[in-house]
Amino acid sequence: MPIDYTALAPGDAISDETYRLDETTVARYVAAVGDGSAPISGDGRPDLAPPMAVAALSLRGVIVDLQVPAGTLHAGQELEFLRAVHVGETLNCRATLSQNSVRGERRFIVVQVSVEDGQGGAVMRGKSTLVVPAQS
């Protein structure tokens, strides 16, 4: 069933997803964006995940759980990375609605994002702004 964006209010939980940032996920991210910044361990495998791989996972949950329609723009994001993430860690990615407004023919949805490790330690926080067609 499609999401009724008009019914979303600040404070609503948008997404609560758990991911294991395994070697395959990191390799796919690195290949997709050409990011060679991941430190490599002595056995030739990545040790730390690129920070933007963590951000991409958190945004994936938002996009999937909000069922964003075609034509949606990811208009902006502000991110703060609080510590490095090792390949193989489990991450809890949560997003909460902070703004839902219509201007002209567009709806602006702003979500606050937080990512924690498996022990509840903060890894990343920030916000993302999505612009969707106003009829949504």
Nearest to 65 by CA among 118, 24, 12, 22: 12
Global pTM value: 0.86
pLDDT in tens, 15-61: 999 999 988 888 888 888 887 666 556 566 668 888 999 999 899 99
Domain that residue 55 falls in: 5-133
When divided into structural domains, the chain yields a total of 1
In sequence order, which residues have a C-beta less than 8 Å from that of residue 46 and are 6 or more positions away? 23, 26, 27, 30, 38, 39, 40, 87
The domain that holds 39 is classified in CATH as 3.10.129.10
